[in-house]
Homo-oligomer: A and B are copies of this chain.
């Protein structure tokens, strides 16, 4: 019982931290802000967490692993490379839509990680990008995708989806499936051969 209470309290703190980091940024968010958000004194937070940076680490690495997990599944698919890229666009949209606060912190605040973890994080990120790039390159070779700079395609796909966190806050009505369909259509119309 003590353990389940402690566990859920940590989750409450994690979620409040993600929201705070998203809204004010990591540096401008104080542990006193966070404590207030979960009805504790600042010092009491440290019964549940190690440090401010540990909160950021958990957010960053949790999300990095979600993307890499998605990549694992996509690579195993029996499908054309265009289909695989569509599946990755869907992955980005779905992650952004289901955990909007966490993913925003992940996108924008990772640079505040300190160096053993920063390097580790950038390695994961680089690996994801490389694997994505391979799919694009093969897609181009097979004539499924227009012959453009693969890096340019990659970064455009990535960032095309990053405004979603803004959107979702003001318009919770738009259905996810409609969002997915329209964004995919917009992007694929552009890169499909």
> Which A residues are within 8 Å of any B CB, using their own CB?
24-28, 108, 111-112, 146, 148-149, 151-153, 155-156, 158-163, 166-167, 171, 174, 179, 182-183, 185-192
Contact = CB atoms under 8 A, between A and B. Distances in A.
8 contacts: A25-B111, A149-B182, A151-B171, A152-B167, A156-B183, A159-B159, A159-B163, A189-B192
Nearest to A171: B151
Nearest to A23: B111
Contacts of A156: 160, 163, 183, 186-187
A154 to B, nearest CB: 9
Contacts of A187: 156, 190
Contact of A191 (B25, B159, B189, B192): B189
Contacts of A108: 108
Nearest to A108: B108
A93 to B, nearest CB: 12
B182 A186 contact: no
Contacts of A183: 152, 156
A104 to B, nearest CB: 12
A179 B188 CA distance: 19
Nearest to A112: B28
A152 B27 contact: no
A108 B25 CA distance: 10
Contact of A186 (B25, B111, B190): B190
A172 to B, nearest CB: 14
